[in-house]
Amino acid sequence: MDRRLGEGFVFIGGTGRSGTNILRKTLDAHESVVSLDFEHRFIIDPDGVIDLLNSYSACWSPFNADKRLKRFNEFLEGLATKDSSSSGYAEWELATHFKRFFELRQRLMDGLIDCKYSGTWPGADQNGDGLIWLGKPLHREELVALLSEFIVENISDLLVRDSSTHYVEDNTWNMLYARELVELMPRAKLLHVHRDPRDVVASFLHQRWCPDGLDQAVMMYKSLMRRIMEAEAGLDHSQCMRVSLERFVDDTSIVLTEICNFIGAAFSHRLFDVELSKESMGRWQQDFNFSERNYLNSELKQYIDEFA
């Protein structure tokens, strides 16, 4: 496999509360698959790889480059070890999973920075180290090459350590960044896990990162799905596969065979080691009253027709 292009890498995503985690757990039972039991965050989170990819070249100036590169470096540092940051990422400890994380981060920063010198910008944070980082005025394709190497080398180390051929990852909103993921890793595969939109909204209402009002939860779902479908439209069937959670639970063997064929892995009966439940299927009918159900059916009709 050509790891330079992300072959063997599988990224699962959806709207959140759509079944991405259970699909990752199922695929992780495969003897040729390795995954982390938490979302690694460094690719799609704010200040992460894709954030830098989309902002750096388009808005380059010495001041912007200095600020963005420092935030990016601090973000990676915070993810690396428990003691490296007081941020909310301090428990991630990515350096314990990706053995060359620090080395590859330094190589990446060396490729992004021309030099450092004493100075300060008007309006800049005065609590820094007094150094300005002069970032290279890189074009997008140059930035893609550097960031792709950082991702691929880290994941490849994990594959070698585990003697696996496939890496599966389920950051909730990977599909929002489907185009960038494929730009960085052209042979990577994406699995778009979807679920009855009404059940997604019902689950949204119980999450700390979601609004607790029905109309706002519906608005959030529609916003997410609009952007996901826009991103999905730029991919072909060899890059992205839709997976219905309901069909996955009802016709598990067929769906898993289709997924294995899509990602290029032999079918394994170990995939049945994870127990699937229908308990949350159709929960919207119990969670909402008559008026609320009618509201959902009206507001989400487009997505019910597409995904339910």
pLDDT at 101: 96
Q: Give the mean pLDDT of 276-282.
A: 87
Q: Band of the pLDDT at 123, cuts 50, 70, 90?
A: confident
Q: Give the mean pLDDT of 187-209.
A: 97
Q: Band of the pLDDT at 84, cuts 50, 70, 90?
A: low
Q: Give the mean pLDDT of 2-20.
A: 91
Cα 291 from Cα 66, distance rounded (Å): 53
pLDDT at 35: 97
Q: Which two tokens stand for residue 295?
A: 């509201």
- Give me the percent of the chain exceeding a pLDDT of 70: 96
The ranges of the chain annotated as CATH 3.40.50.300 are 1-32+165-308
pLDDT at 124: 72
> Model's pTM, two decimal places?
0.94
Given a cut of 90, whether residue 160 has pLDDT beyond it is yes
Q: Which two tokens stand for residue 72?
A: 């990016």
Given a cut of 80, whether residue 239 has pLDDT beyond it is yes
pLDDT at 207: 96
Count, residues in the chain: 308
pLDDT at 304: 98
Q: What is the chain's alpha carbon radius of gyration, rounded to the nearest angstrom?
A: 21
The amino acid sitting at 236 is D
Given a cut of 80, whether residue 64 has pLDDT beyond it is yes
Given a cut of 60, whether residue 235 has pLDDT beyond it is yes
Q: Which two tokens stand for residue 203?
A: 């689950």
Q: Give the mean pLDDT of 282-308.
A: 96
Contacts of 239 (CB under 8 A, 6+ apart): 178, 182, 188, 189, 190
pLDDT at 87: 63
Cα 183 from Cα 142, distance rounded (Å): 12
Choose the weakest-confidence range: 34-38, 181-185, 277-281.
277-281
Closest C-alpha among 277, 136, 298 to residue 215: 298
Given a cut of 80, whether residue 262 has pLDDT beyond it is yes
Given a cut of 60, whether residue 86 has pLDDT beyond it is no
pLDDT at 279: 80
Question: Long-range contacts made by residues 116-124, C-beta under 8 angstroms, separation at least 24?
Answer: 121/63, 121/66, 124/63, 124/66, 124/67
Cα 281 from Cα 181, distance rounded (Å): 30
Cα 303 from Cα 308, distance rounded (Å): 7
pLDDT at 90: 67
CATH of domain 1-32+165-308: 3.40.50.300
| Predicted confidence (pLDDT) per residue in 130-149, tens digit | 899 999 999 999 999 999 99
- Helix locations, the chain, DSSP H: 20-28, 49-55, 62-80, 101-112, 140-162, 178-184, 197-204, 214-233, 245-250, 252-263, 284-287, 290-299, 301-307
Exposed / middle / buried, residue 46 (Cβ in 10 Å: 0-12, 13-18, 19+): exposed
In the chain the first and final C-alpha atoms are separated, in Å, by: 36
| Predicted confidence (pLDDT) per residue in 13-54, tens digit | 999 999 999 999 999 999 999 999 988 899 999 999 999 999
For residues 204 and 278, the model is more confident at 204
Handedness of CA 28, 32, 33, 34 (dihedral sign): positive
